[in-house]
Structure 1
Amino acid sequence: MKSRPLRRRRSGMALIAVLWIVSALSIMLMGLVHNLRGEARLAGQSRQIAEAAGLGDAAIHIVLQAMMARTLQGQRQQRLQVVPVVYGGRDIAVEILPLNGLISLNGAGAPLLAQMLTGAGMPQNAAQALAQTIVDVRTSRDAQGAARNFEATEDLLQVPGVDYDLYAKIAPLLTADELGGDRVNPMAAPEPVLLVLSGGDAGKAAAIITQRASGAVGIDTTGLMGEFIENNAATQRFRLTARIPLADGGAAVVARSVNLSPSVRDGMPWHTYRFEQRLREDTAAY
């Protein structure tokens, strides 16, 4: 009589064990399905980004060819300009940015760097001190006696007093191009740089942007800080950026930094010295 309840207890325990195993397998299966779906989404997204980046780079080369043709005719690109390109059935905007429209990390003097840092929210005294530190770092000498300079804007993060939040604000305004001068071409300057040059006067910056986009000549720049600007200065170095909208509302961004001089390496009529590709534009606000 006692063996029958014992068998029932054993059967009940076995049933519980089976249910636990089934539950565990179900959880494992759900996790596997979730991972597979995630991997499929990532694969589809990667393929979409790769295709968009290819279209963007093709659009950049189309614009480069047109720029080179104009340059050979004596018509140099001196202004920031957005060129609409249709390629592969897509509308692609390509921005041409002459690099002398940015603040040169290796050429700008301490006063201009301090003005930029003040615009980024630093107190004036702290901005002046940090600007001088930046100049001191780039002009220090290596073992061979050559100036160290900054090879990339990211090198700023190694400067005492520059944290990531500050870097994110000022990086879009800067170039580490070693040929950069100590002044800025306002006709090529993006809005954040114009805000620096205008002492934070958004109205003055907007007026220049509007006139520049309309193709106006003789744009009045007297409202900018004259000691920091050089109007219509020529350069051979440009950053071309293509933005390709994606189905999810984001954008693939492709950028080439080029020198419009023949490349000995590949025989191209221009030399690409930096190539960038990212999923979305940086959202750092100045």
Structure 2
Amino acid sequence: LSKSDPEQKWMADGRPYSVTFDDIQVELSITDDSGKIDINAADSAGLKNLFVGAGVEEPQAEELADAIVDWRDPDDLSSLHGAERDDYRAVDLPYGPRNAPFETLSEIQQVLGMNYELYSKIEPAITMYSGRSTPSAAYAPIEALMAIPGMTLEQAQQLIAQRQALAPGQLGQGNAGLTMPDGSPLMADGGGLTYSVKSRASLPNGASTVLDATVRMGGMNSAGRPFVVLRWRDGENS
């Protein structure tokens, strides 16, 4: 990721890579978080599209989106379809909105109307680290692409396949030939400094473990280190 030569730099668009270290086979993918939906920055319309893309009916999607906005905004005024403290009390929940930005991704499960099953569907598409109001389609996972107006599942799958078939550096040259549902060209905008890395390490005896990490490359608060770990999860040991 730190290489300046685009021909050698790994693409952070979710495409798979495979490397071997001392007989340990590592399969990994990297996603630039600028391709995800920032739950602290996206507006209600973008959040609604996220839920609709995940299979939620539009009325419920509107309620969830407005409830997320009410959770993070500093006031006690309910959005049109949102939820403030009295709405949480009405269903016997012992808490209300934070009225401040989300501090963890999993915190979104506390929003009125959310559940773990739905969180599991949208988790690959959300972030807190891009600061963008809309995701960059050049790096977006399929769950985030489905939040783009007019995007169908077939179009999203086709776009990812075409995107990952491009050589490193080609996407930003303007001649990739990929288009959005509205006909506009898909262009890489430079991306961000935060990446989600998913990896599986497998031993010759068949044992394996999975690691899911979010890292920020250099930048502020890195204290001279090449990257800072923002989120770390491991599991699926076998």
**TM superposition score normalised by structure 1:** 0.62
Pairwise CA distance, 1:264: 6.3
Pairwise CA distance, 1:110: 0.6
**1:40 aligns to what?**
none
Amino acid at match of 1:191: I
Question: CA contact under 8 A between 2:33 and 2:127: conserved in structure 1?
Answer: yes
Pairwise CA distance, 1:78: 5.5
**1:211 aligns to what?**
162
Amino acid at match of 1:234: G
Largest Rg, 1 or 2: 1
**1:18 aligns to what?**
none
Amino acid at match of 2:181: G
Identity fraction in percent: 24
**1:151 aligns to what?**
103
Quickly say closer, same or farther: Cα 1:170–1:71, change in 2 above 3 A: same
**2:14 aligns to what?**
80
Rounded Cα–Cα distance in structure 2 between residues aligned with 1:254 and 1:207: 27
Pairwise CA distance, 1:119: 2.2
Which structure shows the higher strand fraction? Answer: 2
Amino acid at match of 2:179: T
Task: For structure 2, list consecutive stretches of 5 or more residues without a partner in the other structure.
Answer: 77-97
Quickly say closer, same or farther: Cα 1:172–1:264, change in 2 above 3 A: closer
**1:254 aligns to what?**
211
2:75 equivalent to 1:118:
no
Task: For structure 1, list consecutive stretches of 5 or more residues without a partner in the other structure.
Answer: 1-66, 281-286
Pairwise CA distance, 1:252: 1.5
Rounded Cα–Cα distance in structure 1 between residues aligned with 2:126 and 2:161: 22
Worse-superposed segment, 262-271 or 184-193: 262-271
**1:138 aligns to what?**
72
Q: Show the 5 A alignment for 1:1-286.
A: 67-70=1-4, 79-140=13-74, 148-177=100-129, 179-197=130-148, 199=150, 201-215=152-166, 217=171, 218-223=176-181, 231-245=188-202, 251-261=208-218, 267-279=224-236
Question: CA contact under 8 A between 1:85 and 1:92: conserved in structure 2?
Answer: yes
**TM superposition score normalised by structure 2:** 0.73
Pairwise CA distance, 1:199: 4.4
Structure 1 vs Structure 2 CA RMSD: 3.4
Work out the number of aligned pairs and report it: 208
Q: Is the partner of 1:155 in helix, strand or coil?
A: helix
Quickly say closer, same or farther: Cα 1:134–1:258, change in 2 above 3 A: same
Which structure shows the higher helix fraction? Answer: 1
1:79-131 deviations in Å (ceiling 9; x for gaps): 33322211121321121110011111111111111011122232212211221
Amino acid at match of 1:155: E
